[in-house]
Copies of this chain bind each other. A is one copy, B any other.
């Protein structure tokens, strides 16, 4: 959600005629969907805030506003309760702030949904000697199992999948790589609380070979012959492990085509982003079109 203009509502002092009391409206910025965004940057007494919010709500109703957003930095946690009492509810939260929202019209709200997925990567890095880059972890479900696994990690907020895969391999093993393609992906639900996971298993080409393992998370890291890797009982288990092995083998021996990233721009802006599509299509002579 971007902000279309900076014409914030003027702060209006409504002086009570016979007294001292004044109620300032909250400082708000219009968004491009007929709503307003209030970002509480300064501390405020919770009672003062509630009065201002009430006066502002009355004003926004008159103006026909729709979605109302209040971004509350965690330092102003005292303002959560008054906002909720005035009808706001939670939209999303990050470590340092809580976003509350309210929908004024009588109609069904068309507010954007919250984020629902975490994105992870698994990295299949194989060298010219058919050795796979594998690790053992100090924590997590593989800890103490003796299983040599592919480096995995979580894509950070705002990070491209292809760059997140390169970063994770570098962090865990010290190996530089270039991204080749997404071999497969898998969606799971209720992976942490109610949220879902998207795991992208990616192939990367190593550009360096000397392993420097990360101390905190990684117990051990090495290059392992692919036959030895796939012979581990864990990787012969039905379901995802076996599928991953089969597709990695199909990639190196049978020309399996995954999805390769190509830079593109979004439809309504010039923001750059990556799209991922069948790599064979990209390599066909006829597709000089992309």
**Chain A residues packing against B (C-beta within 8 Å):** 1, 74, 77-78, 80-81, 84-85, 89-99, 108, 110, 112-119, 139, 141, 154-158, 160-161, 183-190, 192-196, 198, 216, 234, 237-241, 243, 246-247, 250, 254, 256-259, 264-268, 271, 273-278, 280-281, 286-287, 289-290
For A185, what are the chain B residues with a Cβ–Cβ distance below 8 Å?
259, 275-276
Could you list 8 A-B pairs, sorted by A, with CB under 8 Å? A93-B93, A93-B98, A115-B115, A116-B155, A116-B158, A160-B187, A184-B277, A190-B271
Chain copies in complex: 2
B80 touching A277 by the CB < 8 A rule? no
Known: A84-B74, A158-B196, A256-B281. A275 touches B117 (CB 8 A): no
Whether B95 and A90, one on each chain, are in contact in the complex, defined by CB atoms closer than 8 angstroms, is yes
CA distance A191 to B238 in the complex (A): 37
Whole-angstrom distance from the CB of A182 to the nearest CB of chain B?
A: 8
Q: Is the interface of A mostly helix, strand, loop or mixed?
A: mixed
Q: How far is the CB of A250 from chain B (nearest CB, A)?
A: 6
Contact across chains for B89 and A92 when beta carbons are under 8 A apart: no
Give Cα A250 to B282, complex, Å. 11
Question: In the complex where A74-B84, A274-B186 touch, is A116 in contact with B157 (Cβ < 8 A)?
Answer: yes
Can you add 17 more A-B contacts, CB < 8 Å, to A157-B196, A184-B259, A189-B273? A90-B96, A90-B98, A112-B118, A113-B154, A117-B118, A117-B198, A160-B187, A184-B277, A184-B278, A186-B275, A186-B276, A237-B267, A241-B267, A243-B264, A256-B281, A257-B257, A257-B278
